[in-house]
């Protein structure tokens, strides 16, 4: 039997093609996983998750002793994934009451949780205070007023730590829908309004303004925009803050045609160096990797239901925009292969099962003679697949399966038809 073949870094660490040419993930046969757990299914390499969490911590630790790495929970809002991050010593960012609940259930120390959001409700702010959330990231002038009033009503013993989110006016080279720090964005305070918010917060005995926060976007493949943003923020607001939260945004590899993102090591080194140069020594750096922690840990398995050879070859699978909305929202590109016949040359359009012509997962696939019953694999689906999953057309959401050392375990069961109607009254 031929030796196992290592796969590219689009796939989870340790993913191989075995001697029969079948995909193995965490030591498990992909076709056997599809048979046991059904499709569509998110299959997550637990070892990959842990390795990336450790890599981020090690990369920052190589350059500074005062840093925090937080998991941006929106990227993969799954309790089991969050629990891995908590076990690896990361903090957690949440942007809603639901994400806060997940973080607490996953075992994060509330003191290591940050609450974000551009339109937090007063109920969410009260929930964060009651839970003892470490940091509330203040987004706008209206929230300043609401937070100060609620803190006065809450009567906390210690001041609430806050960071002020700034929109520095920098737009990195990424899709407009995931650019969050430009001159016209819904996130954060612009540099003109920020001083007024700072003055009001710093005047309150109920608040400790520990630092500034900015997040300029996601899937960023160059390091320059991070420095541009920090230069603008420090020029406008000074450097007299002990904590600098630089957001996240490091891109990941989705396919061989894409430019490679900076390494985790280069990313951390650049961020530490620019804070030291522009803000001075003795600053705490907070970073919030989202997709870079989880995207390549996961693949999605599908089963081919139909093949239509019209002007082009259309391959219909049993999932689609209900389990991976990113191609429809952002034109995101993914790789795809037949799980036991990699390397085909048949041009195909891989489409979902939903009642939308735009429900297309991959428009330029090359597959090995696809036919009904084949299992297809799409790598790099750990970021925003599960989090954005939906029930359009009454499609139950897929399960999440962890694999490691040849063992597979279900961490989120497949939604049932009964689940779809469990909220009916």
**Residues 9-49 pLDDT 10s:** 999 999 999 999 999 999 999 999 999 999 999 999 999 99
Residue-averaged pLDDT of the chain: 94
If you ran DSSP here, which 8-state letter would residue 344 be given? Answer: -
State pLDDT tens for residues 78-87: 999 999 999 9
Torsion 247-87-64-382 (CA) sign: negative
- From residue 36, how far is each of 42, 111, 374 by CA, in Å? 13, 40, 15
- What is 5-45+295-420's CATH number, 3.30.1490.20, 3.40.50.920, 3.40.50.300, 2.40.37.10? 2.40.37.10
Q: How many CB atoms lie within 10 A of CB 365?
A: 22
Residues classed as catalytic: 355
335 has a pLDDT exceeding 90: yes
- Burial of 273-308, coded b for 16+ CB within 10 Å and e otherwise, reads ebbeebbeeebbbbbbbbbbbbbbbbbbbbbbeebe
State pLDDT tens for residues 39-66: 999 999 999 999 999 999 999 999 999 9
Percentage of residues of the chain with pLDDT beyond 90 = 86
175 pLDDT tier (thresholds 50, 70, 90): very low
Structure tokens at 175: 């899709």
178 has a pLDDT exceeding 50: no
Query: Contact, 285 vs 60, CB < 8 A?
Result: yes
Strand arrangement, sheet containing 28-29? 5-6, 16-17, 23-25, 28-29
Query: Contact, 188 vs 119, CB < 8 A?
Result: no
pLDDT of the residue at 182: 55
pLDDT of the residue at 419: 98
What are the sequence ranges of the domains in the chain? 5-45+295-420, 116-289
Structure tokens at 354: 């939903």
State pLDDT tens for residues 260-310: 899 999 999 999 999 999 999 999 999 999 899 999 999 999 999 999 998
Torsion 150-152-155-158 (CA) sign: positive
Residue 37's H or E segment, with its range, is helix 30-37
Task: Specify the pTM.
Answer: 0.95
Query: Contact, 404 vs 45, CB < 8 A?
Result: yes
pLDDT of the residue at 64: 98
State pLDDT tens for residues 359-410: 999 999 999 999 999 999 999 999 999 999 999 999 999 999 999 999 999 9
Q: Which segments of 317-371 does DSSP mark as H helices, in order?
A: 326-330
Please give the CATH number for the structural domain made up of 116-289: 3.20.20.10
């Amino acid at each position: 039997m031929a030796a196992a073949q290592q796969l590219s870094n689009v796939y989870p660490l340790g993913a191989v093609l075995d001697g029969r040419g079948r995909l193995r993930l965490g030591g498990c046969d992909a076709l056997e996983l599809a048979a046991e757990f059904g499709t569509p299914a998110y299959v997550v390499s637990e070892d990959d998750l842990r390795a990336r969490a450790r890599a981020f911590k090690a990369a920052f630790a190589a350059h500074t002793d005062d840093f925090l790495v937080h998991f941006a929970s929106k990227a993969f809002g799954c309790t089991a994934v969050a629990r891995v991050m908590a076990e690896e010593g990361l903090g957690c960012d949440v942007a809603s009451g639901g994400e806060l609940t997940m973080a607490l259930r996953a075992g994060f120390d509330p003191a290591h949780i940050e609450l974000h959001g551009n339109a937090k409700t007063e109920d969410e702010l009260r929930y964060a205070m009651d839970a003892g959330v470490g940091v509330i990231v203040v987004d706008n002038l209206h929230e300043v007023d609401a937070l100060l009033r609620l803190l006065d009503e809450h009567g906390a013993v210690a001041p609430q730590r806050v960071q002020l989110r700034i929109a520095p006016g920098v737009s990195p080279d990424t899709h407009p829908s995931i650019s969050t720090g430009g001159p016209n964005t819904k996130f954060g305070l612009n540099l003109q309004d920020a001083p007024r918010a700072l003055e009001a917060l710093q005047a309150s005995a109920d608040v400790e303004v520990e630092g500034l926060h900015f997040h300029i976007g996601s899937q960023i493949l160059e390091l320059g925009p991070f420095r541009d943003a920090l230069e603008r923020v420090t020029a406008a607001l000074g450097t007299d803050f002990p904590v600098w939260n630089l957001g996240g945004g490091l891109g990941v590899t989705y396919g061989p045609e894409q430019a490679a993102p900076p390494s985790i090591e280069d990313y951390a080194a650049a961020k530490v160096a620019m804070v030291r140069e522009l803000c001075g020594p003795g600053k705490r750096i907070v970073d919030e990797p989202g997709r870079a922690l989880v995207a390549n840990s996961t693949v999605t398995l599908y089963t081919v239901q139909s093949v239509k050879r019209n002007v082009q070859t259309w391959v219909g699978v049993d999932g689609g925009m209900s389990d991976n909305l990113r191609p429809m929202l952002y034109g995101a590109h993914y790789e795809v292969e037949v799980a036991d016949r990699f390397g085909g040359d048949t041009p195909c359009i891989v489409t979902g099962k939903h009642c939308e012509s735009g429900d297309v997962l991959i428009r330029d696939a090359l597959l090995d003679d696809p036919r009904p019953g084949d299992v297809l694999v799409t790598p790099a689906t750990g970021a925003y697949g599960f989090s954005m999953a939906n029930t359009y057309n009454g499609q139950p959401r897929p399960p999440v399966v962890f694999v490691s050392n040849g063992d597979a375990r279900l961490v989120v069961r497949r939604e049932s038809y009964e689940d779809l109607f469990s909220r009916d009254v």
